[in-house]
Each structure stands twice: as structure tokens, then as C-alpha cells.
Structure 1
Amino acid sequence: MSSTSNNQHARIGVMGAGAIGLYVGGMLAASGASVSFAGRGRTLEALSRGLAITRLGGFKVELKPHQYRAGDVTALAGCDTVLVCTKSGDTGQAATELSKVVAAGTAVISLQNGVGNVDILRQRLPDCEIIPGTVPFNVVRMSPNAVHCAMEGAVLVGPGEGSQRLVGAASNSPLEVVVRNDIDAVLWGKLLLNLNNGLNVLSGVPLLRQFQDRGYRAVLALAMEELLRVLDAAGIEPAGATRTSPRLIPKVLRLPTWLFRIVARQQLRMDESARSSSWDDLVAGRQPETAFLNGAVCRLAEDHHMLAPVNRMICDQVERAFEEGRSPRLSGRDLLSLAHQAIR
């Protein structure tokens, strides 16, 4: 049997049946791959009725329950490749649960936000092949068993046997999986983009509307520039998860709105439903991931005796929003004023 054929018959597990997990796993299952979801509560009950997937451009598929498996973590026993799609704050618990059911040599691919998850997985799962990865596009949870991909993009993973199995599993699917040898640099480039997650909570508006406001864009540019300065101090060069160079993004964000729409037209190919995962967390009453995003910038800055006041301000404001259970719906002008106050 050929290597490609073996890859197509990989047994894929999904740890964390949220928007990303359901979308990636569902797209693989729709193409005939063997997929098992580990979830709990309302998600498992909903998956017993099926899974609906849509995406920008009109693609739509409805999976029947017999096209995948769903259960607790024991449903992942026997999987040769597991995609970890939990929130960053749940990585340690997810790894502990996985350690009880996966065999030595199992490939565990992190598709989470932030840059610290892989280290935790390696510590808790020393006998597994741990592979960094990222999903640089937006997926919205429309209901417990329906997800919508609101942007274009490919799943990016580092090299490894598990990565090749994942590429093979996606070979008959519209889902694109790309292996990147520079995946660690890509994760820092993705973190640059994820600095907007908290701002989306604070604005309270969909991403497309947010990017039409020059004030919001200016705050994001300031947060990104803080990260780039800290990365320079740490000797880390980020790589683009998209076609745009990470160092050009803040400059593009500061363009007049009419020119920004032209220059960033590819990145603005999203629909009105697109929101950040942090917004989804706020609505669902979960804990925010900001500590793993803007907070990671602050910690790296402290390690190099630097400050990251704009990212600290975003962390504080998002924490307050989650404590109150609602977005403050700050205007771009108000957020920019807060950013300037933080810098002073």
C-alpha cells in the first residue's frame, strides 16, 4: 500500500470540539477520513444529531452521526494523530487526559492560539510526537453542532510523521493543510494577528466592521509594534501566517481607510459573521485567552526588561469585560485614547 493511501486511512482524533476542532475534524470526516471527537455535555448531545459546516464562498456540508465518532476522551484511543484544539488555559488538563488513552508514538498536533502550548504538551506527553500548528483563519460557532468558516486560509503545521498523515487525510477535502518548516516563527507571526482578539471583545462589533475603523486599527498597530520590538530584543524573527510580512502589517493598518481597503482587500475577504475566538469565549461565559496572547507579549517584555503598556491595557480591559460578562463596546477613538494614556 502506498504512503499516500496509508495517510488517507489515518485515524484522526480531535481533542476540544469547539469551533476550530469541529471545523477541521468535520471537513476531514466529510472527505471520508476516520475522525473521532472528544467533547462533553451539550456538544456531545448536539453531535449525536449531526454536524453542519459552511464557509465563505458558499460551501456547505451536513454530516450524519455515522460519519464520525464522538464521546469523552476515550473516543480518541487508537487514534494515530490527535489535533489539540482546546483553549490555551485547558492545555495542561487536556494533555493529562490524553496521557491516559493515547499510545506512545501518537502524533499530537497543537492547533491552538498562543506560543506556549507545545511546551506543555511535550512535558505532559513525553512519549508522543508533538507538532506545532496553527489555524490562521476565522471559524464561528453558529450553534452547538454548526460552524462557519468566515475567511480563507490553510491549516499550517510543522514537519513530522503526523503532519504527513494529516496532509494525506485532507487530500480529498477542500481543507488545505500546509507543512511549514519554519512553524515556530509562524506561531509568533500568528500571535501578532491574535493580538486583535481582545480588541474585538472591547469593540463589540464584527471583525469586518472593526477593520473599517482607523482608530481600532491604530490600537492594533501599537500592540503589534510592541511585540515586534520585544521579538527583536529576544532575537526572534516572526514569519507570516499570511502573505503579508509581519513587519508590514502595522504600517498597512495605519493607512487611510480608503487605501487600507485596497491594500488589504485579500485579508478583508470575510463575511459579517466573523468574530474573534475571544468574543465567542465572552458570549459562552468561558475564561479569556488574553493571558496567552497579549499577556505573552507582556511576559516576554518583562523577561527582557522592557514594557508593553498597550498590550497590558488590553489585558486589563478584557479581564474587566469578562468579569462583567459583556463587551464595553468602546469606540475606536476611545480605545486609542486609552492606548495613548497607557503609553504616557
Structure 2
Amino acid sequence: MSAADGNNGMPRIGIMGAGAIGLYVGGMLATAGARVTFAARGRTLEALSRGLAVTRIGGFKAELKPERYRAGSVSGLAGCDVILFCTKSGDTEGSARELAAVLSKPVTVISLQNGVGNVDLLRSCLPGQEIVAGTVPFNVVRMSPNAVHCAMTGMVLIGPGVASQRLVEAAHGSPLAIGIRDDIDAVLWGKLMLNLNNGLNVVNGVPLRQQFSDPGYRQVLAMAIDELLAALDAAGIEPAGATRTNPRLIPKILRLPTWLFRIIARQQLRMDATARSSSWDDLKASRVPETAFLNGAVCKLAEAQGLQAPVNRLICDFVDRAFAAGASPEMTGDELLARVRIALG
């Protein structure tokens, strides 16, 4: 079968990594009639045999029966035309090699992962395959092994590729919006700014909307983003916005008084009370944190430019301690800000 075959002439879409993002994007595509196959194992695979529930902010709900998609081992992705790579960054290499062992024809692999560097790793592990960068600049919460909830508005962004427009068309008929960006590499750096909060959400341990009401946390996040901007400037990299907000305005907005921040946040970034970061989900599930690919990436870029990123380094340390303890320290913004100021001397 060619990429034009399948349901309604749409490409066959595989999901590598059946976590919150993989289940949400794959589930939304399935609601639009796309032919979707999930590579899953363990509790997730067993739960998908009973169905998949997908909801999103604004009231959308879909209960997908198992006949609406396929779920099984990685070998089930061999017949797909487009594979959305949604694993955790720390699992990229191992999962890519697992995928490489079952692919027998050229496919388009689109990374929808956090952090930077995953695309280069995928290219090294999947030679001969088209690798396209992408990002999901909104929050998805895993409610149960086969239920996910999108708690924020936003659009999936992907780079140009052989199958990119086909994927956009496959989402028609569902609330999932997919956009193609020629500047996707710059967008990944812009998205990283937002992901620098993931570790802070672990340190705080409360839903994102509650966390962003804490001026101490917003101040620390602004300082972490300042370090990233300084490193990007030194490297000659200009980030692009993954949301409607100019990336360079984000630290200024975070430092606004809470009442004014809330007004702007309601206009620019809608989220409901359930929104949590993916790193918080990782803590609860006892998975390895992605901080090395987020705040750690800032430290690495800064060091390469002869700079330091002490705030991001401290966030990495706090997250490592939280994961070692298996619980959030539930630190207030004022407590964290005081710790940061001590670390800065």
C-alpha cells in the first residue's frame, strides 16, 4: 500500500511512545478518521484494549472504542507512513533503535518531544528515514492509562517534510490543530523557554495555574529564561515563539504584578485547573526526569559559550533530589527565590 492508501486516502500514522502526548495526538487523529497505530506495552497496552478517552479544555470529549485504532508492539508500526515520535527524551536512542529494527521502507518520523537535540539523535539512529522536528506547546495530563486531557489551548507545530501537509489534513474534523513552520528549529528553542518551568512544577508540586499565581516562582522562571536568552545570543541563535507571545517578552511578563500577569495570561495562554507539567507526571510515575534535556540543555549551551547558568543548574539539582526522594519538596516561591539568591551569592 502507498501513503495515499488507507482510510479516506489518509496516511497510516504510528505513535511511538504512548504517553500523554502520544495518546492525545493519536487519539485526536483517530477521532478525525485517521488510521492510527499505537506502540504500547504493559498497563497502557492492556488499557487501550478497552478504549481511549480524549478530552480537552472547552468541553470536547471523545470515547474511542478499540476498533477505531490499533495498539500493539513496535512491530505494528512497520506498515505506517508517518510515525510521531513521542517518547521521553531520555528514551530517544533506545526507542529509535527499537523502531529501526522493524522498519522495512522509508517513512517520515516527526519528533514531538520536549527539549532540543532529539532530532539529531533520531537521524543518527534512523539513517535513510526522513526526520522532521516538531513540538507540542501545550499541556496534556494523563488521567489514567487510557484517558488523557488537554488542559491548555495551542497548536501542534511541525517542520516542512514529505508528509507534513498530509498530517495537517489528517487532523481535519477534530479539534486538533497542526501548523507547519519553516523556522521549526528556532521554535524548539522558544518552546524550551516554556519547558524550563517543568522542573519548577516538580519543586512546587501544585497545578500550573496555582503555581503561576506565585510571584516567587515566576521570578525564578524569568531568571532561568534570562540565562537561556543570554546563551542563545552568545551562540547567535534567535528563538521563535511557540505561542503568540514574543519569547523575549516572556521574562518581562513573568515579572509583572500578579493581577496584571493574570490578565495577560488569560489572553495569551488558556489553561484549566488540572494542568500539570510532564515532569510532575514523570515524578508520580517514577520515570527518569527530562531535566537534563531542558534546564540541563541551557547549562550545556551556556558553558559552550563560556557562560554559566546557575539558576538552571540549581533547578536541575532540586529536581534530581525530588526524584531521588520520590516526592515534591512542595517549596513555596519565596523559599525557592531565597535559595536562588543564596546560590547567586
Same fold (TM over 0.5): yes
C-alpha contact (below 8 Å) 2:295/2:316 kept by paired residues: yes
The reply on whether 1:124 has 2:130 as its aligned counterpart is: no
1:35-61 superposed Cα distances (whole Å, 9 cap, x missing partner): 000011000000000000111000000
Distance 1:221 1:90 in 2: 29
Partner residue of 2:241?
240
C-alpha contact (below 8 Å) 1:8/1:171 kept by paired residues: no
Partner residue of 2:182?
181
Partner residue of 1:230?
231
Distance 1:244 1:8 in 2: 37
TM-score calculated relative to the size of structure 2: 0.97
> Residue 106 of structure 1 aligns to which amino acid in structure 2?
V
Distance 2:157 2:8 in 1: 17
Report the Cα offset of residue 78 of structure 1. 0.7
1:162-196 superposed Cα distances (whole Å, 9 cap, x missing partner): 21221121122221100000000000000010000
The reply on whether 1:41 has 2:18 as its aligned counterpart is: no
Report the Cα offset of residue 267 of structure 1. 3.7
Report the Cα offset of residue 4 of structure 1. 12
**Aligned pairs for 1:51-200 within 5 A:** 51-200=52-201
Partner residue of 2:256?
255
> Residue 100 of structure 1 aligns to which amino acid in structure 2?
A
Report the Cα offset of residue 90 of structure 1. 0.2
Q: State the SS of the aligned residue for 1:37.
A: strand
> Residue 17 of structure 2 aligns to which amino acid in structure 1?
G
Q: State the SS of the aligned residue for 2:241.
A: coil
Q: State the SS of the aligned residue for 1:161.
A: coil
Q: State the SS of the aligned residue for 2:328.
A: coil
Pair 7,250 (structure 1): closer, same or farther in 2 beyond 3 Å: farther
Pair 317,305 (structure 1): closer, same or farther in 2 beyond 3 Å: same
> Residue 116 of structure 2 aligns to which amino acid in structure 1?
V
Distance 2:278 2:9 in 1: 30
Report the Cα offset of residue 265 of structure 1. 1.5
Distance 2:338 2:256 in 1: 19
Q: Aligned pairs, how many?
A: 344
Partner residue of 2:213?
212
Partner residue of 1:329?
330
Which stretch shows the higher mean deviation, 128-137 or 92-101?
92-101
C-alpha contact (below 8 Å) 1:134/1:156 kept by paired residues: yes
1:2-42 superposed Cα distances (whole Å, 9 cap, x missing partner): x8999851100000000000000000011110000001100
> Residue 67 of structure 2 aligns to which amino acid in structure 1?
H
C-alpha contact (below 8 Å) 1:83/1:108 kept by paired residues: yes
Distance 1:315 1:8 in 2: 46
Q: State the SS of the aligned residue for 2:242.
A: coil
Report the Cα offset of residue 161 of structure 1. 1.1
Q: Which runs of 4+ in 1 moved over 6 A?
A: 3-7
Which stretch shows the higher mean deviation, 258-267 or 331-340?
258-267
Report the Cα offset of residue 115 of structure 1. 0.5
Distance 1:162 1:298 in 2: 34
Pair 4,169 (structure 1): closer, same or farther in 2 beyond 3 Å: farther
Q: State the SS of the aligned residue for 1:270.
A: coil
Distance 1:240 1:269 in 2: 16
Report the Cα offset of residue 268 of structure 1. 4.4
Distance 1:232 1:39 in 2: 40
> Residue 223 of structure 2 aligns to which amino acid in structure 1?
L
Distance 2:265 2:208 in 1: 14
What is the aligned-residue identity percentage? 71
Report the Cα offset of residue 342 of structure 1. 1.9
Report the Cα offset of residue 273 of structure 1. 0.6
Partner residue of 1:315?
316
Q: State the SS of the aligned residue for 1:248.
A: helix
Distance 2:238 2:38 in 1: 35
Distance 1:6 1:337 in 2: 57
Distance 2:249 2:8 in 1: 37
Q: State the SS of the aligned residue for 2:261.
A: helix
Report the Cα offset of residue 306 of structure 1. 0.7
C-alpha contact (below 8 Å) 2:153/2:269 kept by paired residues: no
TM-score calculated relative to the size of structure 1: 0.97
C-alpha contact (below 8 Å) 2:208/2:275 kept by paired residues: yes
Runs of 5+ in structure 2 lacking a partner? none
Q: State the SS of the aligned residue for 2:79.
A: coil
C-alpha contact (below 8 Å) 2:53/2:63 kept by paired residues: yes
RMSD: 1.7
1:218-254 superposed Cα distances (whole Å, 9 cap, x missing partner): 0000000000000000000000000000000000000
C-alpha contact (below 8 Å) 1:7/1:169 kept by paired residues: no
Distance 2:7 2:274 in 1: 37
Which stretch shows the higher mean deviation, 332-341 or 143-152?
332-341
Partner residue of 2:12?
11
